[in-house]
Amino acid sequence: MAVIECVPNVSEGRRADVVEALVNAIRRVPDVRLLDYSSDSAHNRSVITMAGDAAPLKDAVLALFDAAIPAIDLRTQTGEHPRLGAVDVVPFIPIEGVKMEACVALVKETAAEVARRFQVPVYLYEEASSNPARKNLEDIRRGEFEGLATKMSAPEWTPDYGPSTPHPRAGASVIGARMPLIAYNINLATDRLDVAKKIAAAIRQSSGGLRFVKAMGVKLEERGIVQVSMNLTNYEKTPMFRVFEAVRREAERYGVNVLESEIVGLVPAAALIGTAEYLLQLQGFKPNQVLETRLRAKDGT
Amino acid sequence: MAVIECVPNVSEGRRADVVEALVNAIRRVPDVRLLDYSSDSAHNRSVITMAGDAAPLKDAVLALFDAAIPAIDLRTQTGEHPRLGAVDVVPFIPIEGVKMEACVALVKETAAEVARRFQVPVYLYEEASSNPARKNLEDIRRGEFEGLATKMSAPEWTPDYGPSTPHPRAGASVIGARMPLIAYNINLATDRLDVAKKIAAAIRQSSGGLRFVKAMGVKLEERGIVQVSMNLTNYEKTPMFRVFEAVRREAERYGVNVLESEIVGLVPAAALIGTAEYLLQLQGFKPNQVLETRLRAKDGT
């Protein structure tokens, strides 16, 4: 059985009864694990985390749209967070026993059904988009709900699925597939913020560094040290050990040592197992050699 | 739910119908996963690997005894492998969501019930034994079935459970708890067997090295290199990265590099995750930060 994670972001974070109704719509779908949900009142936005196999997740997303469209009206919704739709963004994330390609297929099936059933236009993003100008969520969302009708009238912003005009209340939705994010910080044994900022600039993609690293230098005032604070957006292609070694080597030239690192929140086991393979110079290691994976495999003897 | 592995060794590896009957007795127990079984004709011995929570595993071991005692008679059984009983050795191994102490408790319950129900004397071993002279399987099994009656008449060999005389057909059983073994080899970029042997001697417990390492130096003839071949018997107390670093540093003094390493068979995810924690200098990392662990946790939201 595949494990896919799905993290819908909805444009409602103030009315607790509405959020509860949306979450309950997901709770009613069999074989979907609701893992977490949280609301931000200033952003007027909620993030729901769930997991399951492809078919039940698709049902859960459709149930969420079904509950959200009558309850959320973007013509009157306000909040700090940019948004294009009532169900604003829906990323699918491959976790276990599933390839990115299968997640992309699930995205497209789900998007087609959302468009058909609710007449909501859908843009694909990240790995599900084959148009380089429409891979990045920020590019798609620029102009927000208020600018959507004008934006959609341009031929380059014809949606991937559904009508070429916004849904009157629910706008448009952005559905896609991406790798799990890892929030990873490396603390340096110095109070020099300039060093952390120079290292961040050296290792992040935007200024010439590693492809799947976002980084900034920050000061941890209360501890008197600095931190290279990162998001790793594809641990398969830019692995954790390579990021760690790159930061360590950059720090060396300023005479600074790495004090420690930390993972904020969750990390896929494969990201850590890959790191161990590197340190141990493991050859020919296969994921099914991990005891827990074997124990959970479907085929017994 | 806890995951415990149990690997009974039975003294029958030639009569396929008997082995099949023993395995079928386990297959009939609900909530037990039969993972593997294999027979060795020369040893006249079969090894069965299964997993589950405590209560079903206990039922499975009792079902195995129930099937084995009428089918195996040690008075006529012969084979190369030393043995004390029809169901010779039964180790329980904590895998996930369970402490060693809980496995030891399960061993004692199972042993008491085996003794009561089948009048088979039982010795506890490894972590389940509190007697230093009776921790090691080889010490308990010395003298084999043929010497058992004499051995048991000595007060220091009174069994932990059951009668003080052998079961006429089934001898005695050794039941215990231990950590998972990791078969771990490090290949050196040299053909000098003396180097591999010196490193093995330096790092293994028996000659003064690390507590939970067994090691020997061997030649890989076809590749023209040598190997430090190891069994790691407690990866929590003697972790893989410490073993790797110890071998690497010992090799350095002979001017020899580590070429690669390999894990033979299965490895617990925790052993690799611990290695990543070391390399990344991770602080405050908790097992429930591993995404897969979180996904499998019982309590959803």
Nearest CB to B289 within list A34, A244, A266: A266
Least confident of A167-171, B55-59, B96-100: B96-100
Q: How many residues are present in chain A?
A: 301
Complex ipTM above 0.85?
Answer: no
Per-residue pLDDT tens over the stretch B74-126: 999 999 899 999 999 999 999 888 999 999 999 999 999 999 999 999 999 99
pLDDT of A135 strictly over 50? yes
Query: A151 near A123, Cβ under 8 Å?
Result: no
CB B213 within 8 A of CB B220: no
Best to test chain B binding among A95, A272, A277 (most B CBs inside 10 Å) = A272
Average pLDDT of the segment spanning B136-146: 94
**Would you list the DSSP string of B241-267?**
HHHHHHHHHHHHTTT--EEEEEEES-B
Q: Give the Cα separation of B144 and B44 in Å (integer).
A: 14
Out of A72-76, A287-291, B44-48, B277-281, pick the least confident. Answer: A287-291
- Asked whether the beta carbons of B262 and B183 are under 8 A apart, the reply is no
Q: What percent of chain A has pLDDT over 90?
A: 88
Nearest to B35 among A95, A96, A301 (CB): A301
**pLDDT at residue A296 tops 90:** no
Determine the pLDDT at residue B297. Answer: 63
Taking Cα atoms as reference points, which of A94, A263, A272, A270 lies closest to residue A183? A263
B44: amino acid identity, one letter = N
In this prediction, residue A299 has a pLDDT band, given cuts at 50, 70 and 90, of very low
DSSP string, chain B: --EEEE--EES--S-HHHHHHHHHHHHTSTTEEEEEEEEETTTTEEEEEEEE-HHHHHHHHHHHHHHHHHH--TTT---SS--SBSEEEEEEEEEES--HHHHHHHHHHHHHHHHHHH---EEEEETT---GGGSSHHHHHTTTGGGHHHHHHSGGG--SBS-SS-BTTTB-EEEEE-PPPEEEEEEESS--HHHHHHHHHHHSGGGTS-TTEEEEEEEEGGGTEEEEEEEES-TTTS-HHHHHHHHHHHHHTTT--EEEEEEES-B-HHHHHHHHHHHTTB-S--GGGBHHHHHH-S---
Choose the mutation target among B282, B288, B298, B299 for the interface with A, i.e. most A CBs under 10 Å.
B282
Is the CB of B263 less than 8 angstroms away from the CB of A285?
A: yes
Residues of A in contact with B262 (CB under 8 A): 282-285
Confidence at residue A286, expressed as pLDDT on a 0 to 100 scale: 87
* CB B89 within 8 Å of CB B177: no
Angle at A187 between CA A182 and CA A192, to 5 degrees: 130
Q: Is the pLDDT of residue B65 over 80?
A: yes
Q: What percent of chain A has pLDDT over 70?
A: 98
Residue from B81, B198, B214, B248 carrying the catalytic annotation: B81
Which range (A196-205, B222-231, B280-289) has the least confidence? B280-289
Looking at the partner chain, which of B36, B262, B301 has a beta carbon nearest the beta carbon of A301? B36
Q: Please give the radius of gyration of chain B, using alpha carbons only, rounded to the nearest integer.
A: 21
Task: Choose between A178 and A292: higher pLDDT.
Answer: A178
CB contact under 8 A, A280 and B34: no
What average pLDDT does chain B have?
94
> Is A289 close to B266, i.e. CB distance below 8 A?
yes
What does DSSP assign to residue A136? S
User: Which chain A positions have a beta carbon within 8 Å of B239's beta carbon?
Assistant: none
pLDDT, mean over chain A: 94
Query: Is B43 annotated in the active site?
Result: no
Contacts of B283 in chain A (CB under 8 A): 187, 260-262
Among A34, A280, A300, the residue with its CB nearest the CB of B300 is A34
Q: Answer whether A228's CB lies under 8 Å from A174's CB.
A: no
Question: Which residues on neighbouring strands pair with residue B52, listed in sequence order?
Answer: B4, B32
Distance CA B148, CA B143 (A): 7
**Model pLDDT, residue B287:** 83
Round to whole Å and give the CA distance between A65 and A86.
Answer: 8
pLDDT in tens, B282-298: 999 988 888 887 776 64
Residue B6: closest CA among B38, B44, B50, B36: B50
Q: Considering Cα of A239, then A245, then A248, then A251, what sign does the dihedral take?
A: negative
Contacts of B266 in chain A (CB under 8 A): 289-291, 294
pLDDT score of B300: 40
pLDDT digits (tens, 9 = 90+) for B168-221: 999 999 999 999 999 999 999 999 999 999 999 999 999 999 999 999 999 999
Six-digit token pair at B237?
């107390």
Q: Per-residue b/e over A106-137, b at no fewer than 16 CB within 10 Å?
A: bbbebbebbbeebebbbbbbbbbbeeeebbeb
| Cβ atoms of B169 and B75 closer than 8 Å | yes
Amino acid B75: pLDDT: 97
